[in-house]
A and B are shown apart, each in its own frame.
Chain A
Amino acid sequence: MQAATIASHRFGFSETSLRAIQADPRAWVHNQFKQPVAFDSSGLIDSAQAMALTRDVLKADKAATSATPAAPVSGAANALTPSRKTLRETNLRALERRWQHTIATPTPVAERWVQFWTNHFTVAATKATLAALVWPFEYEAIRPHAFGNFKDLVRATTLHPAMLLYLDNAQSIGPDSKAGKRRDKGLNENLARELLELHTLGVHGGYTQEDVTQTAKILTGWTVRPDGDGNASFVENLHQPGSKRVLGKTYREGDSALGHLLTDLTRHPSCAKFVATKLVRHFVTDEPPAALVEAVAARFHSTEGDLQAVAQALFRHDIAWQPDHPAKFKRPDEFVLSAHRMLKLPISNIAQTVDAVQTMGLAVGRAPSPQGWPDRTEEWLSPDALLKRVQWADKFSQVHRNDADARALVKLAWGPDLSSSTLQHIERAESSAQSLALALASPEFQRR
């Protein structure tokens, strides 16, 4: 695979043409990190509005259920309440803005970088309280810090209402805090564990159960009231008194402990290694080459998580540009978005697109676990999912058969990296729709 193809399809979301990249593929990537084009969140709801909307929804659900207690699964019960409709429209609006940005942004590699972190710090609407918070989380916590320092990114995500609710820290109470003593309630380790396991050190990162418990104690007090104003805050009465000890270091009681802990976690060698491994797996190949992981980890470590420097270490390394890495199999959303991007076609029906991606196996905004969506071929490549992709390519191509000449397009989009077999199939198709469907179904387009 030539460098321009790698830049376009593997690092980005599939450009229409390699022409602008070919002169200097590395510069094309590096420049995106210097000035990533900002996501426009104007007019989209913030967390406070999201939580208010969610409260309305849950209240209306409750009213509807108590009004028709005997018919829980009937058609009437399935009908959307007005606030559920608003919720659905609100979420689709934010998602549509996100996807149109992915399709149209001049800095697609930077956008993939952002979305990598969104998945790394997964929150999901699988929890009722998260119903409207998934997309605000991205533009409030991820985007402002994705090109800054990892520590700030972790802090922003950890303390975002979405994360505090998703991983239950909002309910975690120091057993010896005033509130804990009074209510006989206590710790919830969920966020602490995932902070160590999924967000910073990795599952084999060298921490113990006691480190998890101690981290959970540090996190006590950081909460958001589901019926509050939507802002996270530190509530002294919930905080576990006394100092805590995590990974051999002592942290004082109080709200300053978390910052120190996150600084230390960012400095921990396991964090550098864990993050570097995930980055290389996502951006380069399923089985990350050790030398590249080490190089990226070293930069992460030496800069204490300067994400611009980390990106440079990754994208300036020759291994990242090696032509023979096994290609990655696109995730369903990547497949659909890159089809729109390559064809320069905005999403015309966001609800249908969400449904399509879901039939391919990815429930948008509803990752099944805090681990987020998997990033290996075998997790996505199944007979049914593949057939669904081909069926989507078929339908999509029927609709857009007059929008592009697939024969010409694939030559622009892959240059010499298009296999002669794929090109032949596209050129020998019996119609323009079929040739476009074959281009989208092709191994070149299914993989990146």
Chain B
Amino acid sequence: MSTFFSRRDSLRWLGAAAATATLGAGPARLAFAAPSLAGGADERRLVVVMLRGALDGLAAVPAVGDPGWATLRGQADADAAANVAAPLPLDATFALHPALTSLHQWFMQKELLVVHATASGYRERSHFDAQQMLESGGERPYALTTGWLGRALQASRQSAMAMTASMPLALRGGDASSTWTPSRGAGNDQDLLARVAQMYSGDAALHTAFTHAMGQQDMAKGAKGGPGFASLTKQAGVFLSEAKGPRVAWLEVGGWDTHNAQTGRLQRLLGELDLGLAALRAALGEHWAHTTVLVMTEFGRTAAYNGTNGTDHGTGSVAFVAGGDVAGGRVHTDWPGLSRASLLDGRDLKPTLDIRAVLAPSLQRQFGLSTAALQSSVFPGLTGRGLDVWRS
């Protein structure tokens, strides 16, 4: 058992949230009440964005300053250089994918914290199991059948809105959550359509029909415009801005399972993600000042490219924490390095930070959860220490 929730640590990194919102916090509540008035618990917003399919953290936040970078990714990057702009520098080691222009701007404004080489405790490479474990917050897949966000909400007076057709596992475990999708759908899941097209390759009739349909769809899309994710994030921002609306929103983006043609796919997907997050911020307006946005994925991908210009299932990836009072402008990482010897199993970015060290303090700040409540019901069995995420 480590010291994740030792009294000293929790005071240090939980800061005002634990003190202001925990009933009966005693003197600590008084002591920390003043600085948190502008963003008190009732004013806070939490947005969780789940990237299903496993985002390549090394593509989103390339470690261009790492000596191993050129060996692992340099060649393929050179191949793609003709079409892709240069990464946006963050610090001496890290840069941001060029499609993440809004995130880069936030980083410069110190409102984006990049967490690198992070993962859940899951060490195999099944999407399903990894997502189950990430969303449930259990010590292993299927150990828990409810989600950490749902359990945390249950103890609060807040409600959540999942911008999905069905209730995500993360929000299960209480009755404080709802779901919403546009009645006419948010557009097609391009990754699914691509997979279906590939699945039909052995069935001539289905393949022909579907290929035609995809072509027509592209035309229709061009005529209409309107990216799906951004419309969902915008709506989420509208919900969160309502006085009696939800204080927590859950969004999902799929398509990150880039086993082939990764460069182009990520260019598009990261661009959609960036646009969506920018739309969220715009819709939140003044509430951005006390909003925390968490972006996470179930695991990372192989450090080296595979044989089809993509990456296979890996382990360590990145997480983003953004918001008006986030202590951003930095990349938080205990960087494991990219030399072959430092890769997990000789292939994956080695995770050095349990992602719950990002999630747990966000929940405590949002819901004013006591450490005891957090450890007993939200993340049972959690060890390690949490991150300093906020400026105050």
A interface list, Cβ under 8 A from B? 329, 377, 381-387, 390-391, 394-395, 398-402, 405, 407, 419, 421-422, 425, 428-435, 437-438, 441-443, 446
Give the distance to chain B from A27, nearest Cβ to Cβ, in Å: 32
Write out the residue numbers on chain B whose beta carbons fall within 8 Å of the beta carbon of A434: 52-53, 189, 191-192, 195, 254
Binds A, one of B203-211, B347-355, B376-384: B203-211
Q: Which of B23-31, B162-170, B238-246 contacts A (4 or more CB under 8 A)?
A: B162-170
A430 touches B212 (CB 8 A): no
B199 partner, pick from A383, A401, A430, A442, beta carbons under 8 A: A442
CA distance A425 to B259 in the complex (A): 12
User: A398–B192 Cα gap in the complex (Å)?
Assistant: 12
Check if B128 sits within 8 Å of A435, measured CB to CB: yes
Q: How far, in whole Å, are A422 and B200 apart by their CA atoms in the complex?
A: 9
Whole-angstrom CA separation of A438 from B191 in the bound complex? 11
Beta-carbon contact of A394 and B128 below 8 Å: no
Which one of B169, B193, B212, B255 contacts A383 once the chains associate, using CB atoms below 8 Å?
Answer: B212
List of 6 A-B pairs having minimum Cβ-Cβ separation, nearest first: A430-B53, A383-B213, A383-B212, A387-B213, A430-B257, A398-B165
Our pick among A377, A438, A443 for the contact of B195 (Cβ within 8 Å) is A438
Check: B342 CB closer than 8 A to any chain A CB: no
CB contact under 8 A between A443 and B203, given known A384-B213, A407-B128, A430-B54: yes
Chain A: which residue is nearest B312 at the CB level?
A: A428
Residue of A nearest to B128 (CB): A432
Residues of A near B205 (CB, < 8 A) are 329, 377, 381
What's the Cα separation between A384 and B213 when bound, in Å? Answer: 6
A429 touches B210 (CB 8 A): no
A428 to B128, CA, bound (A): 9
Any A CB within 8 A of the CB of B261: no
User: How many whole Å from B172's CB to the nearest CB in chain A?
Assistant: 8
- The complex places the Cα of A407 from the Cα of B199 at a distance, in Å, of 15
Interface string of B145-169 (1 = CB under 8 A from A): 0000000000000000000111001
Say whether B222 faces chain A, with CB atoms less than 8 Å apart. no
User: What's the minimum C-beta distance from B308 to chain A, rounded to whole angstroms?
Assistant: 13
Whether B71 sits at the interface, judged by CB under 8 Å, is: no
Residue contact B202 to A395, C-beta cutoff 8 Å: no
Q: How far does the Cβ of B375 sit from chain A's closest Cβ, in whole Å?
A: 26
Interface residue B75 (Cβ < 8 Å from any Cβ of A): no
Complex contacts, A441 vs chain B, CB 8 Å: 196, 199
Q: Who on chain B is nearest to A425 by CB?
A: B199
The answer to whether residues A387 and B210 also contact, given A399-B165, A402-B166, A438-B199 and a CB cut-off of 8 A, is yes
Q: A386 to B213, Cβ gap below 8 A?
A: yes
Q: List 13 A-B contacts (CB under 8 A).
A: A391-B185, A394-B188, A395-B165, A421-B199, A429-B195, A431-B131, A432-B131, A433-B166, A434-B189, A434-B195, A437-B189, A443-B200, A443-B203
Tell me if B83 is interfacial: C-beta within 8 Å of chain A.
no
In the bound complex, residues from chain A placing their C-beta under 8 Å from that of B196 are 390, 437-438, 441
Complex contact A383–B209 (CB within 8 A) = yes
> A386 touching B199 by the CB < 8 A rule?
no
B52 pairs with A430, CB closer than 8 A: yes
- Supposing A430-B257, A431-B53, A443-B199 touch, asked if A383 and B128 sit within 8 A by C-beta, the answer is no
Contact between A431 and B128, CB atoms less than 8 A apart = yes
Question: A residues within 8 A CB of B188?
Answer: 391, 394
Interface centre among B128, B201, B216 (most CB of A within 10 A): B128
How close is A193's CB to chain B, nearest CB, in angstroms? 34
Q: In this complex, what residue of A is CB-closest to B126?
A: A427
- Whether, in the assembled complex, B109 has its beta carbon less than 8 Å from a beta carbon of chain A, the answer is no
- Knowing A402-B169, A443-B199, A443-B202, the reply to whether A430 touches B210 (Cβ < 8 A) is no
Specify which chain B residues have a CB less than 8 angstroms from the CB of A402 in the assembled complex: 166, 169
User: How many angstroms from the CA of A387 to the CA of B216 in the assembled complex?
Assistant: 10
Q: Which of B128, B206, B209, B217 contacts A405 (CB 8 A)?
A: B128
Question: Closest residue to B167 on the A side, CB-wise?
Answer: A402
Q: Is B255's CB under 8 angstroms from A430's CB?
A: yes
CA distance A402 to B213 in the complex (A): 29
Distance in angstroms between the alpha carbons of A433 and B135 in the assembled complex: 14
Residues of B within 8 A of A421 (CB): 199, 201-202
Q: Take A382-B209, A386-B213, A430-B256 as given contacts and tell me if A398 and B195 are in contact as well, using a CB distance cutoff of 8 Å.
A: no
A residues in contact with B198, CB < 8 Å: 425
> Could you say which residues of chain B place their CB within 8 Å of the CB of A387?
210, 213-214, 216-217
**Cα(A142)–Cα(B131), bound, Å:** 49
Contact with A along B96-122 (1 / 0, CB 8 A): 000000000000000000000000000
Nearest-CB residue, chain B, relative to A442: B199
Whole-angstrom CA separation of A386 from B208 in the bound complex: 10
Asked whether B127 is an interface residue with its Cβ less than 8 Å from the other chain, the reply is yes
Minimum CB distance partner of B258 in chain A: A430
Q: Which residues of A contact B200 (CB under 8 A)?
A: 443
Chain A residues whose C-beta falls within 8 Å of the C-beta of B52 in the assembled complex: 430-431, 434
Q: Mark B44-62, 1 if CB is under 8 A from A, else 0.
A: 0000000011100000000
Q: For residue A430, which residues in chain B have a CB less than 8 angstroms away from its CB?
A: 52-54, 127, 191, 254-257
Residues of chain B within 8 A (CB-CB) of A395 are 165, 185
